[in-house]
């Protein structure tokens, strides 16, 4: 797999969240969301369920070291992304 390409691309995105309040890295949330949607997840809770069901795999590949964020955190983080800027 080309996980390094995803990691490189996602790590270059600007995270505008307040650093003191960040528990889950932006690239983790974006990658989990991408994987969940590709797998057929149709909402924030289904993305969270997908991540929870595949937590061991994500952690083996360096993602979700702090566990799976709740669906509200996923939704809030994705919703705040400014799609006109990297």
- pLDDT (tens digit, 9 = 90+) per residue, 43-73? 999 999 999 999 999 999 999 999 999 999 9
pTM: 0.79
Query: Among 85, 73, 83, 82, which residue's Cα sits nearest to residue 25?
Result: 73
Query: Among 8, 23, 26, which residue's Cα sits nearest to residue 81?
Result: 26
Place of tokens 């969301």: 33
- pLDDT (tens digit, 9 = 90+) per residue, 18-30? 677 778 888 899 9
């Amino acid at each position: 797999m080309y996980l390094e390409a995803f990691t490189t691309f996602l790590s270059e995105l600007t995270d505008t969240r307040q650093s003191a309040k960040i528990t889950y890295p932006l690239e983790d949330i974006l990658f989990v969301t991408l994987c969940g949607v590709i797998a057929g997840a149709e909402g924030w809770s289904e993305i969270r369920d997908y991540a929870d069901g595949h937590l061991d795999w994500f952690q083996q590949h360096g993602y979700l070291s702090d566990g799976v964020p709740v669906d509200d955190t996923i939704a809030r983080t994705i919703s705040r992304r400014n799609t006109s800027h990297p």
